[in-house]
Copies of this chain bind each other. A is one copy, B any other.
Amino acid sequence: MGAGVTATDAAAAPRCLLAPDGTVADGHVPALDDAGLLDAWRAMRLSRTVDARCFSLQRQGRLGTYSSVNGEEAAVVGSAWALDPARDWVVPQYRELPAMLRQGYTLVRALQYFMGFPAGNHMGEGVNLLPYQISLAAQIPHAVGLAWGLRHQGSDGVVCCYFGDGASSEGDAHEALNLAGVRRAPVVFVLKNNGWAISTPVRRQTAASSFADRAAGYGMPGELVDGNDLLAMHDATTRAVARARAGDGPTLIEARTYRMGPHNTSDDPTRYVDAAELEERRAADPLVRLRRHLDARGLTDDAAEAALEAEHKALVDAAVAEAEATPPLGPAAMFDHVFARPPQRLDDQRAVAEAADPPEMP
List the B side residues contacting A217 at CB < 8 Å: 206, 208, 211, 213-217
**Chain multiplicity (copies):** 2
Which residues of chain B have C-beta atoms less than 8 A from A175's C-beta? 169-171, 174
- Write the A1-19 contact mask toward B (1 if CB under 8 angstroms, else 0): 0011111101000000000
B-contacting residues, A61-77, CB 8 Å: none
Question: Measured between C-beta atoms, what is the minimum distance from A322 to chain B in Å?
Answer: 41
Interchain CB contact under 8 A, B219 and A208: yes
From B173, B178, B216, A216 is in contact (CB under 8 Å) with B216
Query: Is residue A300 within 8 Å, beta carbon to beta carbon, of the partner chain?
Result: no
Report A144-167 CB contacts with B as 1/0, cut-off 8 Å: 000000000000000000000000
The interface residues of chain B lying within 8 Å CB-to-CB of A49 are none
The 8 A CB mask of A207-241 against B (1 = contact, 0 = none) is 11101011111111000000000000000000000
A208→B179 CA distance, assembly (Å): 11
**C-alpha spacing A211/B171, complex, angstroms:** 17
Give bound CA distance, A223 to B362, whole Å.
Answer: 66
Name A178-223 residues within 8 Å CB distance of B: 178, 181-182, 184, 204-209, 211, 213-220
Q: Which residues of B contact A324 (CB under 8 A)?
A: none
A51 interfacial contact with B, CB 8 Å = no
Q: Is A309 an interface residue (CB 8 A)?
A: no
Contact of A206 among B8, B172, B178, B207 (CB under 8 A): B178
Number of A interface residues, CB 8 Å? Answer: 34
The smallest C-beta distance from A62 to any residue of chain B, in angstroms, reads: 39
Chain B minimum-CB-distance residue to A250? B207
Q: Is the CB of A204 within 8 A of B216?
A: no
Contact of A178 among B10, B169, B181, B209 (CB under 8 A): B169
Residue of B nearest to A217 (CB): B214
Query: Which residues does chain B contribute within 8 Å of A6, judged by CB atoms?
Result: 4-8, 216
A216 partner residues in chain B, CB cutoff 8 A? 6-7, 10, 208, 213, 216-217
Query: Taking the nearest CB of chain B, how far is it from the CB of A2, in angstroms?
Result: 9
CB-CB under 8 A from A207, the residues of chain B are: 178, 181-182, 184, 218-220, 249
Q: How far is the CB of A220 from chain B (nearest CB, A)?
A: 7
Instruction: Name A209's contact: one of B3, B5, B174 (CB within 8 Å).
Output: B3
What is the distance, in angstroms, from A142's C-beta to the closest C-beta of chain B? Answer: 15
**A24-55: which have CB < 8 Å to B?**
none
* Bound Cα distance A97, B217 (Å): 29
Contact of A4 among B8, B182, B184 (CB under 8 A): B8
Given A169-B174, A178-B207, A207-B219, list of 6 further CB < 8 A pairs? A6-B7, A169-B178, A181-B207, A207-B220, A208-B218, A213-B217
- 5 A-B residue pairs with Cβ-Cβ distance under 8 Å, sorted by A, are A5-B6, A10-B216, A174-B175, A181-B206, A207-B220
**Interfacial residues, chain A to chain B (CB-CB below 8 A):** 3-8, 10, 169-175, 178, 181-182, 184, 204-209, 211, 213-220, 249
